[in-house]
Structure 1
Amino acid sequence: MFIQTEPTPNPNVLKFLPGRDVSPAAALEYRTVDEATASPLAEALFELEGVGGVFFGGDYVSVTREAQGPDWSEMKAPILGVIMDHFVSGQPLLRAGGGDQPEAAGEDSEVVAEIKALLDSRIRPAVAQDGGDILFDTFDEETGVLSLRMRGACAGCPSSSATLKAGVEQMMKHYVPEVTRVEQTL
């Protein structure tokens, strides 16, 4: 099994591409070792020194290193080993009941549905190339403020503010005139 790695715009995140589906149904993020118990792979990655976060995209794993942790030169080989061992073993990505992600209840307004469709069709695929994800949080119909949450490599990335303002906000304003401003939810 050959696993490729790619840098991301976030220097503390490295993207690992195992050449197979990882989490095609939904992106999953684990920011603590306690959250990681839902996934054998995430749990094994958190056992490595310096791992501060794990994100599963459709065909990749993004690993966030702790800011004060070891360098990538020390961490890369053990991470590759854990990912390879997981996929070669045939274990599932998630333990039973480990994939439950809370969904927003209720029906979306026409504007919110338009925002979510634009996120899914144009923005999320571009963000996924950098090892991250972007999620709808809220939209205030009175003020036009759209709040989005960055995950994976995009969370805490030095260029995420520029991505939100120069890329996402401009696109949203163009296609959804009701949007006046885009903010990041932490």
Structure 2
Amino acid sequence: MFIQTETTPNPATLKFLPGQPVLDEGTADFTTAEDAAASPLASRIFAAGGVTGVFLGTDFVTVTKADDVQWDHIKPALLGAIMEHYQSGAPVMDSSAGKVGHAEHDGEDEGVVSQIKELLDTRVRPAVAQDGGDITFHGFDRGIVYLHMQGACAGCPSSTMTLKMGIENLLRHYIPEVTEVRPIA
């Protein structure tokens, strides 16, 4: 098994490509070892040490390291943990816990929200997945779109620029009701 790695715009995050499917659909985000209990793969990665986050996509795993840890010191252990997981035959997820997607929204803005989700799914999410992250819809209130940033996008130095100059401009162009885009914590 050959696992490729790619840097991301976030220096604290590295993208691992195992060359086989990770999740059949959606994504899963784990910010603590306790959260990762639903994923044997994420649990192995946290057990390697120095890890503060694991994000699972359809064909990649994004790992966020602690500030006081160097990639050169933990990368071999992470590669080993991912390889051991796939050789074990264990599932990536034991349940749907940790899986994330768009928040539900109904009411008078349902049509606008549907357009927002469609643009996110077709134009935004594929692009940020290339960088090892994901952005999901969280809410819409009085023209303001609230988005949840995960994986490499969470804590990325360029995430504010991506939100304001990229996503906000895109949504405002296609959906006049959108006036602003804000991240949620």
Q: In structure 1, the residue corresponding to 2:59 is in which secondary structure?
A: coil
Whether 1:136 and 2:106 are equivalent positions in the alignment is no
Aligned to 1:110: 111
> 1:92-133 CA distances to partner (integer Å, 9 max, x unpaired)?
011145466587456461000000000000100000000000
Mapped to 1, the partners of 2:99 and 2:161 lie a distance apart of 32
Classify 1:168/1:102 alpha carbon distance in 2 versus 1 (closer, same or farther; 3 Å): closer
> 1:66-115 CA distances to partner (integer Å, 9 max, x unpaired)?
112x2000111100000011111111011145466587456461000000
Whether 1:124 and 2:125 are equivalent positions in the alignment is yes
Aligned to 1:154: 153
Per-residue deviation, 1:10: 0.2
Aligned to 1:29: 29
Matched to 1:34, the amino acid is E
> 1:146-182 CA distances to partner (integer Å, 9 max, x unpaired)?
1101000000000000000111011011111110011
Per-residue deviation, 1:12: 0.2
> What is the identity percentage for the equivalent residue pairs of Structure 1 and Structure 2?
51
Q: In structure 2, the residue corresponding to 1:59 is in which secondary structure?
A: coil
The gaps in structure 2 that reach 5 residues or longer are none
TM-score relative to the length of structure 1? 0.93
Q: In structure 1, the residue corresponding to 2:140 is in which secondary structure?
A: strand
Aligned to 2:56: 56
Classify 1:177/1:153 alpha carbon distance in 2 versus 1 (closer, same or farther; 3 Å): same
Mapped contact 2:135–2:149 kept (Cα < 8 A): yes
Mapped to 2, the partners of 1:97 and 1:182 lie a distance apart of 28
Mapped to 1, the partners of 2:166 and 2:117 lie a distance apart of 16
The gaps in structure 1 that reach 5 residues or longer are none
Aligned to 2:170: 171
The within-5 A match list for 1:77-116 is 77-96=76-95, 98=97, 104-105=103-104, 107=106, 109-116=110-117
Per-residue deviation, 1:29: 0.3
Q: In structure 2, the residue corresponding to 1:133 is in which secondary structure?
A: strand
Moved over 2 A (4+): 96-108
Mapped to 2, the partners of 1:157 and 1:76 lie a distance apart of 20
Mapped to 1, the partners of 2:129 and 2:177 lie a distance apart of 26
Classify 1:182/1:102 alpha carbon distance in 2 versus 1 (closer, same or farther; 3 Å): closer
